[in-house]
Structure 1
Amino acid sequence: MPSSRERIIMGAADLIRRRGLAGSTVRDLAAHSGAPFGSTYHYFPEGKQQLAAEAVRFAGDLVSRVLERELRAGPAAGLRAFLGLWRQTVLDSDFNAGCPVLAVAVEEPPGEGGSPAITAAAEVFTAWEGLLSAALREDGAGGEDAARLATLIVAAVEGTVAMCRAKRDIRPLDDVAAQLELLVSTRAGRL
């Protein structure tokens, strides 16, 4: 059973993926997790930015664990798992949820030195790219080309999830999935 702090983080990640960070107050984030409002500031004394950063890292870690496990079977398997996670998220939420990492990245204006939430989003995207890039290199892709392809995968999938939500249609993700799988399967070993 998750602790109160963990429940707040999980609830925050869920609400951010549905309403975005700008559309969620600390009170909303606490209520969505079922936690008392006061306990939110007990666990997150720096407020919304601290909670958002932890929620982004939590969501990022969940995806990273799936990627790490599936990439053992190669980049194509990891790619399918990455795509499958987002497909399931979009469909299970009836197009009402996307990626909390992307939500923070596009909504939170970077300030001087960056906000904790935007810093966390950058760290998560970098981690996903790193996992994909490493698998592509192990499959024979050159280092720089593997890194570029990993960036393309993350950017394409994240953007397509947003398109699916806007269009209320899973087809953009399925179309991008087919193209990325073709690209990975035909080029990974020859980059």
Structure 2
Amino acid sequence: MSREQIVTGAADMIRRRGLNATSIREVAKHAGTPLGSTYHYFPGGKTQLATEAVQWAADTVSKVLTAKLRKGPVDGLKAFFALWRQIVTETGFQAGCPVLAVSIEENVSPQALMAAADGFRAWSAQLAASLEEHGVSPVRARSLAHLCVSAAEGAVAMCRAQRSIEPLDDVAAELTALLHAATEDPGMRHTVPIRG
């Protein structure tokens, strides 16, 4: 049993059950590894394992974005939503995002919470950079990237609660149209100031 298998097993449990309901003992059982080897690889215990599981999940999504954003922000966005669609449907609406799961729970270690924050920042930064490369102003690109990441996470939560993929597909369609407009229509490349 490799270290990576334990990390991926932990990420899977966190995305299904949350961090607080996931123990080292259950991760070892889920990953099919002796409890002692889990502590050997992760002497920092649950905090270290949770942090690495979140980092692994965040890095996995970043790799998908890196590959697809080469074709442009719309392709990157479609791949981002396709990944969440696959996770949600293949697990029968039992799994979501381990990065989000760690972010919203109480009594999470600062290390795991920082890993989650870094993951969200990385995804947003990747999308924003691609939007800027396609003519969107930096402020608008950052705003749109935050919208895409937060809307995807919220849609995944709705899908799990409703046992329906419809929220994710609807949000993906709306955001795809929005990114098309932002990259193709010069009038949509800048943020419109909010008037109170």
TM-score by length of 1: 0.94
Contact conserved, 1:21 with 1:104, CA < 8 A, in 2?
Answer: yes
Aligned residue for 2:127?
132
Q: 62, 73, 76: which is aligned to 2:74?
A: 76
Aligned to 1:4: 2
Q: Deviations over 1:46-87 (max 9, x none)?
A: 111110110011111111111001000000000000000000
- Structure 2 CA distance for aligned equivalents of residues 102 and 188 of structure 1: 28
Letter in 1 for 2:170: D
What is the RMSD of the two structures over their aligned residues, measured on CA atoms?
1.2
Identity %: 55
Aligned mates of 2:106, 2:140 — CA distance in 1: 30
Q: Which residue of 1 aligns with 2:158?
A: 163
Which one has the largest radius of gyration?
A: 2
* 1:67 aligned onto 2:65: yes
Amino acid at match of 2:4: E
Q: CA deviation at 1:108?
A: 4.1
Equivalent residue number for residue 144 of structure 1: 139
Q: Mind listing any 5+ residue stretches in structure 1 that lack a counterpart?
A: none
> How many residue pairs are counted as aligned between the two chains?
186
Contiguous gaps of at least 5 residues in structure 2: 190-196
- One-letter code of the match for 1:82? F
Structure 1 residue 188: Cα displacement: 3.0
Q: Distance in 1 between matches of 2:23 and 2:88?
A: 23
Compute the TM-score of the two structures, normalised by the length of structure 2: 0.92
Partner of 1:25: 23
3-state SS in 2 of match to 1:21: coil
**Which string of whole-angstrom CA distances, capped at 9 and with x for unpartnered residues, describes residues 139-170 of structure 1?**
10001110111001000001110110011000
The list of structure 1 runs, each at least 4 consecutive aligned residues, that deviate by more than 6 angstroms after superposition, is none
Give the letter for the 2:33 counterpart: A
CA–CA distance in 2 between the matches of 1:35 and 1:75? Answer: 40
